[in-house]
Amino acid sequence: MSLRGLLSWCSIGTLLLQNGHVYARSVLADRAVGVPVANASVLILGGGVAGVIAARTLYEQGITDFMIVEARDELGGRLQTETIGAPGNEWVVERGPNWVQGTQTGNGPENPIWALVKKHGVKTQYNDWYDSMTTYDESGYVNYTDTFNESGDGYDTLTVAAGARVAKKLVDMTARTGYSLIGAKPQTPADKACEYYQFDWEYAQTPEESSWIASSWGNNFTYDPDDGGFGDDNQMSIDQRGFKYFIQAEAAEFLQPEQVKYNATVTKIAYSSDGVDVTLASGEVLSADYVLCTFSVGVLQNDDVTFDPPLPAWKQEAIQGIVMATYTKIFLQFEEDFWFDTQMGLYADTTRGRYPVWQNMNLTDFFPGSGVVFVTVTGEYSVRVEALSDEEVKEEVLGVLKLMYPNVTIPEPTAFYFPRWHTNPLFRGSYSNWPSSFFNGHHENLRATVNQRLWFAGEATSLKYFGFLHGAYFEGLDVGTTLANCIWAGGCAGMAHVPEVTNAYPYKV
Ligand SMILES: Cc1cc2nc3c(=O)[nH]c(=O)nc-3n(C[C@H](O)[C@H](O)[C@H](O)COP(=O)(O)OP(=O)(O)OC[C@H]3O[C@@H](n4cnc5c(N)ncnc54)[C@H](O)[C@@H]3O)c2cc1C
Ligand SMILES: *[C@@H]1O[C@H](CO)[C@@H](O)[C@H](O)[C@H]1NC(C)=O
Ligand SMILES: *[C@@H]1O[C@H](CO)[C@@H](O)[C@H](O)[C@H]1NC(C)=O
Ligand SMILES: *[C@@H]1O[C@H](CO)[C@@H](O)[C@H](O)[C@H]1NC(C)=O
Ligand SMILES: *[C@@H]1O[C@H](CO)[C@@H](O)[C@H](O)[C@H]1NC(C)=O
Ligand SMILES: *[C@@H]1O[C@H](CO)[C@@H](O)[C@H](O)[C@H]1NC(C)=O
Ligand SMILES: *[C@@H]1O[C@H](CO)[C@@H](O)[C@H](O)[C@H]1NC(C)=O
Ligand SMILES: *[C@@H]1O[C@H](CO)[C@@H](O)[C@H](O)[C@H]1NC(C)=O
């Protein structure tokens, strides 16, 4: 099916007549006189938060000749649910994102995901990550909340020290180096579990694998109102329609059925300065003037989609330079609970990152009576468990519960489930993480346009909010706005790139 050049005065007329959308009308009033009409077609590849918000942005700017192309059979991308539980006690749990991270502080900036969650009435519950914690090690319950509190202070010190480096234009280093320089050097399993909770549980990688500066500024822009962030509350979705409901309901407000193509897996993107041809697994070819690719960097890294011609060197360096980290929630259901009555539990194994963070859903404010608990692993440990069978992972997890509760006969769970994000060809991980070898120029190149026609957006292209739902939202909005302006202008260079990312100071020989 060819989209190219289909739209013209006709669809703009349709837009005015059928919708009378006020914003589109005012855009037209501003632009329609003496300037080219928006006769360009756009294929938005991927129907996650970035794709849906980009589509909404084009629509609001009076551009209606677009189509979202999505491999799955619903919108939402990584927002996905799974129904687990024994018959009669089934619960919808989140495979992917669970929290609105950072909501709003006073009259400060509001997280746009929080705004959509409220607008569409998604049920959430404040999740206390710091003051509702029970601590364990391999001998069972052990109170190390003092260590836990110190690790929170250590993390804050790490972000302050990173800010001082930014102010002095000092180079980036790993967050591990940062921790060591501020004197936070975890020794015991409890020290390491607490550090894990502060760091890996957020970035889905270790301090060794992560940028000191980027992890700190990412933290600030989401959580720290003093630095323009939203605030440090985390609201957890407990809505049985799924967290995804907010974006699906938002899409339903503007998207026409023919503007989404489901069950359509892209295998090839052929582009030139004239336009794009997108080949689907079915063999069908879609053509358009512009393409906006919102696939995860994991998908781009893994050559799940072929680019013709191959992407330029600067783009490939950016894609391969960032990391697609993995975050795995492992859900269990038991007939009766025997665990902590706080919201969170922390288990310190002698192996750092071995089934460390536990969460109790069988609480009045969450899923009362559900008997659901889940444990999270990240990074290389996620890759490891994905390679095991469900049965093997279940045995390991039950083994950890036996250590945590030496006096309890751990029953057989009535449900056991975990998603495999790392091996999923539509994602290849959970969200991006920024290594210390990745520079600002690389990041600019990650979001930059290729040949004026091939555009990119997604959580990873967000400088301030990479990794988060709101990062995907802001990129859909920002790149969508730039693309709309470009179309109205009859073409443009797009988001700029740097030809080569160079050292400020060369190596001496
Ligand atoms: C386990 C987990 C926990 C998370 N927790 C949180 C959290 O609590 N809070 C938070 O803010 N963020 C969280 N995130 C991150 C958040 O989910 C992402 O930042 C956000 O959903 C990314 O949106 P996106 O539109 O950029 O990408 P995606 O949602 O990945 O959208 C891209 C779309 O492209 C489609 N696609 C891929 N390949 C193809 C192809 N070849 N052909 C056609 N379609 C294709 C995919 O199916 C997908 O729908 C979490 C993510 C995971 C996985
Ligand atoms: C829109 O149409 C005009 C006139 O036919 C043409 O010059 C222009 O190139 C078109 N723009 C795009 C982006 O296709
Ligand atoms: C997509 O595929 C699913 C499962 O194969 C099917 O139920 C659904 O009807 C399909 N949707 C579309 C729009 O083709
Ligand atoms: C854990 O120990 C601290 C002191 O280190 C104490 O303040 C706190 O009450 C203890 N917690 C529990 C649950 O006993
Ligand atoms: C840890 O901090 C919390 C408040 O954040 C406080 O209530 C608790 O007493 C502290 N515990 C210890 C052991 O310092
Ligand atoms: C993060 O916030 C802290 C506290 O406001 C600030 O001191 C620091 O400079 C910030 N760090 C970065 C990298 O922006
Ligand atoms: C959930 O918690 C309640 C209250 O503590 C308890 O009575 C009930 O047995 C638990 N349910 C399950 C299924 O574990
Ligand atoms: C487990 O049982 C032993 C022996 O009865 C007892 O000493 C210990 O305190 C119990 N531990 C817990 C966590 O209840």
Going from N- to C-terminal start, the domains of the chain cover 9-76+244-321+436-488, 81-242+327-420
Residue 222 identity? T
Q: Is any ligand 2 atom within 6 A of the Cβ of residue 121?
A: no
Cis peptide before 36 (omega within 30 of 0): no
Residue 162 Cα to ligand 6 middle (Å): 7
- Is it true that 9-76+244-321+436-488 and 81-242+327-420 share their CATH fold? no
Q: Which residues line ligand 8 (CB under 6 A)?
A: 140-141, 406-407
CA torsion, points 435, 436, 440, 441, in degrees to nearest 10?
A: -90
What number does the ligand 3 atom closest to the CA of 261 have? Answer: 13
Q: Ligand 2 atom 13: the closest Cα is on which residue?
A: 40
Q: Is any ligand 1 atom within 6 A of the Cβ of residue 94?
A: no
Within 8 A by CB and 6+ apart from 504, the residues are: none
What number does the ligand 6 atom closest to the CA of 164 have? Answer: 9
> Quick one: which H or E segment has residue 66?
strand 66-69
Q: Ligand 4 atom 14: the closest Cα is on which residue?
A: 143
The encoded tokens of residue 135 equal: 């601590």
**pLDDT per residue rounded down to tens, the chain (509 residues):** 344 333 333 333 333 322 322 233 334 434 444 444 567 999 999 999 999 999 999 999 999 999 999 999 999 999 999 999 999 999 999 999 999 999 999 999 999 999 999 999 999 999 999 999 999 999 999 999 999 999 999 999 999 999 999 999 999 999 999 999 999 999 999 999 999 999 999 999 999 999 999 999 999 999 999 989 999 999 999 999 999 999 999 999 999 999 999 999 999 999 999 999 999 999 999 999 999 999 999 999 999 999 999 999 999 999 999 999 999 999 999 999 999 999 999 999 999 999 999 999 999 999 999 999 999 999 999 999 999 999 999 999 999 999 999 999 999 999 999 999 999 999 999 999 999 999 999 999 999 999 999 999 999 999 999 999 999 999 999 999 999 999 999 999 999 999 999 988 888 88
Three-state DSSP state, 240: coil
Q: Is any ligand 1 atom within 6 A of the Cβ of residue 419?
A: no
Best residue for ligand 1 mutational test, from 70, 75, 78 (most atoms within 8 Å of Cβ): 78
The encoded tokens of residue 341 equal: 């009555």
Residue 263 Cα to ligand 3 middle (Å): 6
Instruction: Give Cα separations from 352 to 200, 379, 446 (angstroms).
Output: 10, 12, 32
Report DSSP letters for 392-447, one per residue: HHHHHHHHHHHHH-TTS-PPPPSEEE---TTT-TTTSSSEEE--TT--HHHHHHHH
Q: Is any ligand 2 atom within 6 A of the Cβ of residue 40?
A: yes
What number does the ligand 2 atom closest to the CA of 487 have? Answer: 13
What number does the ligand 8 atom closest to the CA of 140 have? Answer: 13
According to the model, what pLDDT value does residue 29 have?
A: 39
What number does the ligand 1 atom closest to the CA of 234 have? Answer: 8
Q: Ligand 8 atom 9: the closest Cα is on which residue?
A: 407
Running DSSP on this structure, what letter comes out for residue 215? H
Q: Is any ligand 1 atom within 6 A of the Cβ of residue 424?
A: no
Buried b (16+ CB within 10 A) or exposed e, 434-449: bbbebbebbbbbbbbb
The encoded tokens of residue 83 equal: 């129904």
Helices 49-60 and 22-31 pack at an angle, to 10 degrees, of 60
The candidate with the shortest Cα–Cα distance to 329, out of 371, 367, 386, is 386
Distance CA 269, CA 262 (A): 17
Report how far apart the first and last C-alpha atoms of the chain are (Å, whole number): 58
Residue 327 Cα to ligand 7 middle (Å): 27
Three-state DSSP state, 88: coil
Distance CA 393, CA 247 (A): 33
Specify the length of the chain in residues: 509
Name the CATH superfamily for 9-76+244-321+436-488.
FAD/NAD(P)-binding domain (3.50.50.60)
Residue 243 Cα to ligand 1 middle (Å): 13
Three-state DSSP state, 257: helix
Architecture of 81-242+327-420 per CATH? Alpha-Beta Complex (3.90)
Distance CA 434, CA 471 (A): 14
Q: Is any ligand 2 atom within 6 A of the Cβ of residue 9?
A: no
Residue 141 Cα to ligand 7 middle (Å): 20
